[in-house]
């Protein structure tokens, strides 16, 4: 009976991850976890699906249009989360009684937006969020900046800028211009400034917010303040006059910059950029975006800000929040374009070759002993010619191959091949004394031997 085959394909905006792509993704996520934990953030998880009323109207008109929504089998109106912040607001309102405040969490999980796809942007993507709930203290604002700096450094990126703004500054200017009721529309136009330019942004403000040309010009003059943090703060004070809201925002920016430097962030990485607005409506204070010096056109790779009113939609308790999200897929796309990613298709650094069929258990014990000493080891599954196995090692990006034939086993020796430098080292090996071999391999890898819990060697 003939039957037609289904064409294997993925939906537009969605993708499969082969090992060469998934290995660096997992490494980045692990680095993020380790960094967040170092600052005391605890892990949580929330469902992919939420009641539609939880998600709709919480981000922006654009995110509402991009929201994946449907009626489930039970007749409930549901949506797939478009970020991890709105579910956090619901989560905090529901559980804060047992969590207490301040509550610090991190959450690494996929989100979905039905948006137009482009380089580094998909309809399903992973966010790596960290947030602090329950405090308005500037210390939480400072820590957000310090964590971003520490995270990027831990990933291995040295050349980047953390651009910092405070919506209070623009809010103060708009109060002085009598435009406080048009804040959302003006922010959305301002958010497009880097993409569409000054003239188009001004025209959009006039069309959508009903501002005059002079008012649009005043907003854009504020957004175009550049220079050192001290110079920008002075210029902002001149432009906003004696408005109390703007003055409070400027002072908070000053404290964030000085505090972040005291907390370990490098001063040359910090910029005050009043042009960044962040398209989501729920931000109320400080906002940040992080750009790579070597590829700024990829967009922000770590963004966030303060959202002091988001949880009020779910609870009468005041639960101010602040946090940021690492754009995992965008950052990986940038690192790939910049050729910063190692070309590997295996998470193991060491391949134990097998070409003497009669010695199967010896190879098994050798691999097991190296794993017990903290090395990631793969054992080739068939006793093929050595050349075939070394080709396999090169194709997948192994760094070390361990080779032993019958003569080596009898002599208590093994050969360690450094596959990158194309050199070989012969060393002693016995099943009950594997430490010397592990040390040789670790020196090649530039790693220290880290015995596992079950560290007793395996021997016959």
The CA distance from 265 to 254, in Å, is 14
Q: Is 112 helix (H, G, I), strand (E, B) or coil?
A: strand
Local confidence pLDDT in tens for the 460 residues of the chain: 578 899 999 999 999 999 999 999 999 999 999 999 999 999 999 999 999 999 998 777 788 899 999 999 999 999 999 999 899 999 999 999 999 999 999 999 999 999 887 765 789 989 999 999 999 999 999 999 999 999 999 999 999 999 999 989 888 888 888 888 888 788 788 878 878 888 898 888 999 888 899 888 888 888 888 899 999 999 999 989 889 999 999 999 999 999 999 999 999 999 999 888 766 667 889 999 999 999 999 989 999 999 998 888 899 999 999 999 999 988 998 999 999 998 889 999 999 999 899 999 999 999 999 999 999 999 999 999 999 999 999 999 999 999 999 999 999 999 999 999 999 999 999 999 999 999 999 999 986 555 554 456 767 6
Q: How many Å apart are CA 47 and CA 68, to the nearest integer? A: 14
CATH number given to 350-445? 3.40.50.800
Q: Is 167 left (phi over 0), alpha (psi -120 to 50) or beta?
A: alpha
The pLDDT value recorded for residue 171 is 86
pLDDT (0 to 100) of residue 453: 45
Let me know: does 307 contact 321? Beta carbons within 8 Å: yes
Residues of the chain with CATH 3.30.930.10: 19-337
Q: Within 45-117, where are the H helices? A: 52-55, 61-66, 85-99
> In the chain, which segments carry CATH 3.40.50.800?
350-445
**The domain defined by 19-337 carries CATH number 1.10.101.10:** no
Distances, alpha carbon 5 to alpha carbons 2, 9, 15, 109, 294, in Å? 9, 12, 21, 33, 45
- Of 437, 436, 400, 430, nearest in space to 417 by CA: 400
DSSP H helices in 241-350: 244-262, 328-337
């Amino acid at each position: 009976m003939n039957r037609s085959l289904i064409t294997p394909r993925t939906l537009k905006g969605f993708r499969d991850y082969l090992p060469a792509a998934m290995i660096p993704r997992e490494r980045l996520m692990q680095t993020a976890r380790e960094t967040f934990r170092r600052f005391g953030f605890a892990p949580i998880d929330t469902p992919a699906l939420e009641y539609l009323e939880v998600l709709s109207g919480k981000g922006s008109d654009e995110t509402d249009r991009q929201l994946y929504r449907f009626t489930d089998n039970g007749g409930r109106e549901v949506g797939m989360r478009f970020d991890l912040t709105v579910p956090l607001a619901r989560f905090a309102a529901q559980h804060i009684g047992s969590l207490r405040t301040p509550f610090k969490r991190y959450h690494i999980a996929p989100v979905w937006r039905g948006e137009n796809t482009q380089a580094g942007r998909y309809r399903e993507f992973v966010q790596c969020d960290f947030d602090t709930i329950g405090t308005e203290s500037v210390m939480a604002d400072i820590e957000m900046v310090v964590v971003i700096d520490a995270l990027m450094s831990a990933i291995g990126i040295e050349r980047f800028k953390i651009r910092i703004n405070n919506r209070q500054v623009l809010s103060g200017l708009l109060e002085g211009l009598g435009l406080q009721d048009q804040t959302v529309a003006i922010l959305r136009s301002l958010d497009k400034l880097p993409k569409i330019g000054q003239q188009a942004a001004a025209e959009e403000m006039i069309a959508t917010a009903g501002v005059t040309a002079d008012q649009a010009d005043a907003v854009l003059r504020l957004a175009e303040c550049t220079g050192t943090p001290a110079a920008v703060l002075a210029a902002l004070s001149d432009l906003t006059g004696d408005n109390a809201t703007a003055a409070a925002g400027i002072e908070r920016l000053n404290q964030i910059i000085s505090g972040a430097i005291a907390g370990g962030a490098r001063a040359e990485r910090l910029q005050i950029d009043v042009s960044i607005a962040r398209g989501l409506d729920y931000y109320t204070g400080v906002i940040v975006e992080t750009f790579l010096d070597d590829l700024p056109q990829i967009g922000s790779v770590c963004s966030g800000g303060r959202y002091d009113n988001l949880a009020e939609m779910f609870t009468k308790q005041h639960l101010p929040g602040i946090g940021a999200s690492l754009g995992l897929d965008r950052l990986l796309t940038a690192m790939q374009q910049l050729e910063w990613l190692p070309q590997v298709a295996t998470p193991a650094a060491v391949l134990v070759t097998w070409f003497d069929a009669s010695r199967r258990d010896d190879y098994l014990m050798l691999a097991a002993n190296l794993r017990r000493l903290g090395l990631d080891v793969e054992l080739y599954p068939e006793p093929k010619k050595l050349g075939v196995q070394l080709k396999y090692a090169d194709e997948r990006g192994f760094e070390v191959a361990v080779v032993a034939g019958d003569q080596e086993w009898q002599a208590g020796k093994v050969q360690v091949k450094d596959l990158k430098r194309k050199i070989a080292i012969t060393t002693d090996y016995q099943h009950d004394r594997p430490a010397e071999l592990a040390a040789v391999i670790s020196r090649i890898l530039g790693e220290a031997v880290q015995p596992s819990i079950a560290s007793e060697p395996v021997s016959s």
